[in-house]
Amino acid sequence: MGALHDGHLSLVKRSLAENDLTVLSIFVNPAQFAPHEDLATYPRTLPRDIELLCQQAYTPPSEPSGRTRQPSAIFLPTVQEMYPSGITQTVTEQKGTFVEVKGYSEQMEGKSRPTFFRGVATVVTKLFNAVEPTHAYFGQKDIQQAILLRRLATDLLLSHPTPKNVHIVPTARDPSSGLALSSRNVYLSEDGKQVAPSLFDALTIAQEAWDKGVDKAGCIERAVNLIEQRKRDAQEKGMNVDIKLDYIEMNDAREFEVLDVEDTINTRRGRPVILSGALYMDSTRLIDNLILGNAREIVY
């Protein structure tokens, strides 16, 4: 959706390294924003995005001519081109064709954003049809989205890309704080920026407990306590930031079922788990996740 940062560029770099041709899309998709969300204010920095993309280059070590690969095209459709039947953000008033991935859109992010994945699945189906990519790259930061898109590729019998060629690239983070890079980080105030890494810290403390054999309930309790402590610290320091935890949850990474409170690393036997959370910093909603167990089954 543009407003590019190093997380987006890590997807571009992967594609350049693994493919002859790389096509980007930049499209702020109205259908995935609920009417109360930030469609109008979503950061748009197209000239800078194009400049950054033009700077991306990769020379394959095996290329005899030493020819460098660069992005081949940037697909910049208009709303009218992507939604020939028109589009409103109010689902009950929409007309035309939409794609739903039932049973995978209601948990985690879908609980807080009930129409989000319908909008994502619809626009990504259109982008796949327009570009017909052999491989597609999505970020782990939006893990539910990426796994759901593999499911979409499976259910719709897609050949471009096949489900196996829907790749998930690890989350790029701020090297000093661990904060997941996101276009929405520009909304954060100075105080907000200082407290925002709390979400990653909370997930990390839960992951450490999980690896030591603590059950799900204990892991989540530790994560929530850390957020509460950071909230108190911010208040004591007189920081001007309103911190509200939306959720921290653990779900099966294949089917998205919520884990039982007494589940542990031993009961899961390596079956991968998504440990995810969302945190409001004032009105900015940040998300993050870690994969517990066999992450390589998911992130490749």
Is 52 within 8 Å of 4 (Cβ atoms)? yes
List alpha helices for the chain, DSSP H. 6-18, 46-55, 79-82, 109-112, 116-131, 143-155, 190-195, 198-211, 216-236, 265-268
- Distance CA(143)–CA(120), nearest Å, equals 13
* Residue range at the interface with ligand PAF (CB under 6 A); choices 85-93, 118-126, 264-272, 287-295: 118-126
- Distance CA(235)–CA(241), nearest Å, equals 8
Least Cβ distance, residue 294 to ligand ATP (angstroms):
20
Which residue number is nearest to ligand ATP in terms of Cβ? 139
- Distance CA(184)–CA(188), nearest Å, equals 8
Secondary structure, 3-state, 34-93: CCCCCCCCCCCCHHHHHHHHHHCCECCCCCCCCCCECCCEEECCCHHHHCCCCCCCCHHH
The residue from 58, 83, 138, 210 that contacts ligand ATP (CB under 6 A) is: 138
- Distance CA(291)–CA(300), nearest Å, equals 12
* Residue range at the interface with ligand ATP (CB under 6 A); choices 55-63, 167-175, 193-201, 244-252: 167-175
- Does position 87 bind ligand ATP by CB under 6 A? no
The residue from 139, 192, 197, 293 that contacts ligand ATP (CB under 6 A) is: 139
Catalytic annotation present for 135: no
- Does position 105 bind ligand PAF by CB under 6 A? no
Which CB atom, from 125 or from 183, has the smaller least distance to ligand ATP? 183
Least Cβ distance, residue 210 to ligand PAF (angstroms):
27
The residue from 15, 22, 29, 182 that contacts ligand PAF (CB under 6 A) is: 29
Q: Which among ligand ATP, ligand PAF, ligand BAL, none contacts residue 292 (Cβ within 5 to 8 A by kind)?
A: none
* Residue range at the interface with ligand PAF (CB under 6 A); choices 46-54, 119-127, 186-194, 253-261: 119-127
- Does position 39 bind ligand PAF by CB under 6 A? no
- H or E, element range at 169: strand 166-169
Binding site for ligand PAF (CB under 6 A): 1, 29, 32, 120, 123-124, 142, 145
- Catalytic positions are 8
